[in-house]
């Protein structure tokens, strides 16, 4: 067994090489780029009722279909684009999810106008620093938390859809708002030791 194979990881990622790479390279890494945040917000909404592996397999197709997740481009999508997306077998062809992605892009831009960036808005809920959880097993990982409840309520108030608390918590995990790698996972310590990024949430307060 190689040194890479011998590393202890969160058990959910052991089913495929794709999951393994996503776990090791992306999951839980703090994201402060608005386009990446928009990407994860849309993908997590698309995943509702499906497996994350299904969405990962379609991720590149989503990037092509949704203007490389430029929220300004997606916000301009109209009836013709909806028809195009509903005919695209490379993505999840669910009208409600497609329409919500477009509506969420418009709401996303409104948040940026108010806060300067979606990054500043999102990370403001946790004071600009990732929450460091202590989970020893998968049964201890919640599907929602008071913080995800608060974010979900506020997003809905702002017109976002497919942002229930469970979806929001998965989003928080994905973009590093919470470090939910298990205590025995090699990535938990690596992410905890990362230098704090200069997020726009911090910059706006100066």
Residue 197: DSSP 8-state: P
The whole-angstrom separation of Cα 67 and Cα 91 is: 13
Report pTM. Answer: 0.92
Per annotation, catalytic residue among 26, 52, 99, 110: 52
Structure-token pair, residue 138: 């998968």
139 three-state secondary structure: helix
Per annotation, catalytic residue among 19, 27, 39, 44: 44
Query: Is 114 a residue of the active site?
Result: no
What are the pLDDT digits (tens) for 3-19? 446 799 999 999 889 99
Phi, psi dihedral angles at 132 (to 5 degrees)? -105, 100
What are the pLDDT digits (tens) for 59-89? 999 999 999 999 999 999 999 999 999 999 9
The whole-angstrom separation of Cα 164 and Cα 9 is: 28
What are the pLDDT digits (tens) for 39-65? 999 999 999 999 999 999 999 999 999
């Amino acid at each position: 067994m190689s040194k890479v194979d011998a590393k202890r990881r969160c058990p959910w990622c052991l089913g495929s090489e794709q999951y393994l790479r996503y776990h090791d390279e992306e999951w839980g890494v703090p994201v402060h780029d608005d386009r990446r945040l928009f990407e994860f917000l849309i993908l997590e909404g698309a995943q509702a009722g499906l497996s994350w592996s299904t969405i990962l397999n379609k991720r590149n197709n989503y990037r092509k279909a949704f203007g490389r997740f430029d929220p300004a481009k997606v916000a301009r999508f109209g009836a013709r684009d909806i028809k195009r997306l509903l005919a695209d077998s490379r993505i999840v062809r669910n009208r409600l999810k497609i329409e919500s992605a477009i509506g969420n892009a418009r709401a996303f831009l409104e948040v940026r106008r108010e806060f300067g960036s979606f990054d500043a808005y999102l990370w403001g809920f946790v004071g600009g620093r990732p929450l460091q959880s202590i989970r020893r097993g998968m049964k201890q990982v919640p599907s929602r938390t008071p913080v995800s409840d608060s974010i979900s309520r506020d997003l809905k108030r702002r017109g976002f859809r497919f942002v229930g608390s469970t979806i929001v918590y998965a989003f928080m995990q994905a973009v590093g708002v919470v470090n939910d790698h298990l205590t025995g996972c090699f990535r938990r310590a690596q992410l905890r030791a990362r230098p704090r990024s200069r997020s726009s949430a911090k910059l706006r307060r100066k």
